[in-house]
Chains A and B, each alone.
Chain A
Amino acid sequence: MNKNTLLALGIVAAISFGSAGSALAAEAGPQPPRQKWTFSGPFGHYDKQQLQRGFKVYREVCQACHSLKLVAFRTLGQPGALGFSEGQIKALAAEYQINDGPNDSGEMFQRAGRPSDYFPPIFANEQAARATHNGALPVDLSVIAKARTYEVGFPGFLIDIVRQYQENGVDYLHALLTGYEEKAPAGETLTPNQFWNKYFPGHKISMRPPLEDKRVEYTDGSPQTVDQYARDVTAFLMWAAEPHLEARKRIGFQVMIFLIVFAGLAYFTKKKIWASAH
């Protein structure tokens, strides 16, 4: 039994029990096409321009219904984030009204946001959100990029380990945002508040198609298309869900180099020690 067999068996043992994540199947429908993302792979990093564009799309489109309550304004300027300056973040935070209090007279009050605040909720509570959306609940988007996936069959889910494919969530989101069809296929009926989406589990989605060409103005010359908007806002949501991704991959590479050198040294040490035993 050499080391290769050992490692191979380790991998097989780990995975052959079936990827747990992949078991959460979208009931039917085509697989979301895999997109190219700057943050995939071992040297992945966010494209600051893209995150800023995506943030703009979020603010001008998604934010009408979807909150981002786990994200603090200050984090927009962290290393590996959108690259906003302190001043920009202060100005941005001040555009939001934050519920605070109680004050000395026992009253709750509204005040301008500060960098340490989190994106405020859009609706006072779930009931209010549902009431304005015909019963549907617009979900919070803070970790949405990690909270969605699609099923990858055998042997793809094994290959994904080696390829470091971890973009199931963002590929799904991009597909969802671009996957609306004009009308439902024959034999399917939609209520007035439902829309047909190729990639949504069950296909009948209550979110109206949120994007259309030229809806958000880009100043950096990027195409103002649904596809580009979907791509950018999805990248932004990936950052929102995983703000330390760049640090993780950078440290990971350092750890790998260290461990591989260490393993080499350990191997030759072991070999020398055992040489006298045979």
Chain B
Amino acid sequence: MSGSSNFKPKSAILQWTERRLPILGLMHSSFVAYPTPRNLNYWWTFGGILSFCLGVQIITGIVLAMHYTPTVAGAFDSVEHIMRDVNYGWLIRYVHANGASMFFIAVYIHIFRGLYYGSYKEPREILWILGVIIFLLMMATAFMGYVLPWGQMSFWGATVITNLFSAIPGIGPKVVEFLWGGYSVDQPTLQRFFSLHYLLPFMIAGVVVLHIWALHEVGQNNPAGIDVKSDKDTVPFTPYATAKDNFAMICFMIFFAWFVFYIPNYLGHADNYIPANPLQTPTHIVPEWYFLPFYAILRAIPSKLGGVIAMFGSIALLAFLPWLDRAKTRSAKYRPLFKQFFWVFVLCCIGLGWLGAKPAEGGYVIASRILTAYYFIHFLVILPLLSYYEKPSPLPASIADSVLGKQPAKA
């Protein structure tokens, strides 16, 4: 589904190069001529926004790494050195710290967009699975990055999360020691987390290339969820999608800048401005907001191993989604029942996020259990059943018809 590759540079030098390495042609067919469905709405701009986020994190991260010291004695102070003495260090660090949250806001919108419009369905299964892998890598990267300032929440967050692996029967304790590089979260842990935190973003970039490659092979899904049938259904990526992505990205930057410049510590924990102290446990150990729904699932299950399985399962389940939801109709627009269940599911996730921030006691635990159960029921029961029992509404004859206002064809 790549665009017409009759690209021919004007200059002789570039023509010479192009005959030997057709990189300009590749760029041209991928980002200029590439046909995009003409009915894409603004929810489709988050792919571009996510690339922007990754770029921002890598660039600010490289600069931070030039000034940061990954030692238990020096990490906290080196972050404060960045905040105080490095030129615009405060800006770079706040962009990086808030950038992680922005990255997750964008990725959650992107994922829910995919869920709503059935972007995981045939022929986009691999595209979707690559997305799940990126999500997992993002979580690992964010988790390790949060440990680096070596504040109280860094230390205790790392302790709680790495301890999860001790639930693995038999080898659990050994695995945890292997992760720590010792018998507790300490210098070796911090140092390897720093190393991996620097490595993983480049792995994300690699999988992103595959993700985009797969996307350009099968073509974008669209709000109508129907296949492109003729040239009338598409517009070239440039200038159409570029102009739209550009506008959306700038709006996203305004939102981003609001946090960075005005409330830079809003999304963080005050406790992380207290240097790590292995002898003093904070009253509540809470992960960053983007992990809260999964944290709620973890704590909802009374057994440790069960909780760990449920938490990882809740993410792993996403990879199997193309085979759990077998309905032929992709877009929720034409699936009246699925649409309702989708929004219930969104509320369920928000509810889990809220519960993840609450102490694990009393009514919160019961609510967490109910919502955790619903999370799994949505994927394992509701979606498979809907595939068989739901009667979709009639689809428009073509993408062009769906935007240009013709009535849907009689089914």
Stretch at the interface among A2-10, A47-55, A89-97: A2-10
Is the CB of A124 closer than 8 A to any CB of chain B?
A: no
Q: Which residues of B contact A259 (CB under 8 A)?
A: 250, 253-254, 257
Is the CB of A24 closer than 8 A to any CB of chain B?
A: yes
Chain A contact residue count (CB 8 A cutoff): 64
Q: How far, in angstroms, from A139 to B271 measured CA to CA in the complex?
A: 13
* B357 engages A18 (CB within 8 Å): yes
Q: How far, in angstroms, from A1 to B44 measured CA to CA in the complex?
A: 11
Q: Which residues of A contact B200 (CB under 8 A)?
A: none
Q: Chain A contact residues: over half helix, strand or loop, or mixed?
A: helix
Q: How far, in angstroms, from A25 to B269 measured CA to CA in the complex?
A: 11
Given A19-B357, A23-B286, A256-B254, is A10 in contact with B265 using a C-beta cutoff of 8 Å?
Answer: no
Is the CB of A143 closer than 8 A to any CB of chain B?
A: yes
User: Within the complex, what minimum Cβ distance (angstroms) separates A64 from chain B?
Assistant: 22
* A274 engages B244 (CB within 8 Å): yes
Is the CB of A263 closer than 8 A to any CB of chain B?
A: yes
Q: How far, in angstroms, from A244 to B358 measured CA to CA in the complex?
A: 33
Contact of B270 among A27, A70, A147, A255 (CB under 8 A): A147
Is the CB of B31 closer than 8 A to any CB of chain A?
A: no
* B240 engages A263 (CB within 8 Å): no
Q: How far, in angstroms, from A201 to B260 measured CA to CA in the complex?
A: 29
Contact flags (1/0) for A137-167 with B, using CB distance below 8 Å?
Answer: 0010011101111000000000011001110
* A23 engages B357 (CB within 8 Å): yes
Contact of B250 among A17, A241, A262 (CB under 8 A): A262
User: Within the complex, what minimum Cβ distance (angstroms) separates A89 from chain B?
Assistant: 16
- Nearest opposing residue in chain A for B357, CB measure: A18
* B243 engages A147 (CB within 8 Å): no
* B246 engages A14 (CB within 8 Å): no
Q: How far, in angstroms, from A274 to B239 measured CA to CA in the complex?
A: 9
Q: Which residues of B contact A143 (CB under 8 A)?
A: 80, 273
* A146 engages B273 (CB within 8 Å): yes
Is the CB of A277 closer than 8 A to any CB of chain B?
A: yes
Contact flags (1/0) for B268-298 with A, using CB distance below 8 Å?
Answer: 1111011000000011101111101100000
Q: Which residues of B contact A197 (CB under 8 A)?
A: none
Given A14-B101, A256-B261, is A160 in contact with B253 using a C-beta cutoff of 8 Å?
Answer: no
Q: Which residues of B contact A11 (CB under 8 A)?
A: 255
Is the CB of B108 closer than 8 A to any CB of chain A?
A: yes
Contact of A249 among B247, B261, B358 (CB under 8 A): B261
Stretch at the interface among B13-21, B35-43, B59-67, B180-188: B35-43
Q: How far, in angstroms, from A2 to B41 measured CA to CA in the complex?
A: 9
**Interface set, chain B 229-256, CB cutoff 8 A to A:** 235, 239-240, 243-244, 246-248, 250-255
Contact of A269 among B42, B235, B243, B268 (CB under 8 A): B243
Q: Which residues of A contact B83 (CB under 8 A)?
A: 244
A-B contact count (CB 8 A): 175
Q: Which residues of B contact A19 (CB under 8 A)?
A: 266-267, 289, 357
Is the CB of A131 closer than 8 A to any CB of chain B?
A: no
Q: Which residues of B contact A24 (CB under 8 A)?
A: 269-271, 282-284, 286
* B293 engages A17 (CB within 8 Å): yes
* B286 engages A20 (CB within 8 Å): yes
Contact of A20 among B43, B247, B357 (CB under 8 A): B357
Q: Which residues of A contact B251 (CB under 8 A)?
A: 3, 6-7, 263
Is the CB of A270 closer than 8 A to any CB of chain B?
A: yes
* A166 engages B284 (CB within 8 Å): no
* B290 engages A25 (CB within 8 Å): no
Interface centre among B41, B109, B357 (most CB of A within 10 A): B357
Q: How far, in angstroms, from A201 to B77 measured CA to CA in the complex?
A: 27
Q: Which residues of B contact A25 (CB under 8 A)?
A: 283-284
Is the CB of A115 closer than 8 A to any CB of chain B?
A: no
Q: Which residues of B contact A139 (CB under 8 A)?
A: 274
- Nearest opposing residue in chain A for B253, CB measure: A259
Between A and B, 9 residue pairs with Cβ closer than 8 Å are A6-B248, A16-B353, A18-B292, A18-B357, A24-B271, A147-B270, A147-B274, A266-B247, A269-B247
Further contacts, 20 of them, CB under 8 A, given A20-B289, A248-B90: A13-B109, A18-B292, A19-B289, A19-B357, A20-B267, A20-B287, A22-B357, A23-B286, A70-B77, A146-B270, A147-B274, A161-B258, A164-B258, A249-B261, A256-B261, A259-B253, A259-B257, A263-B250, A273-B240, A277-B38
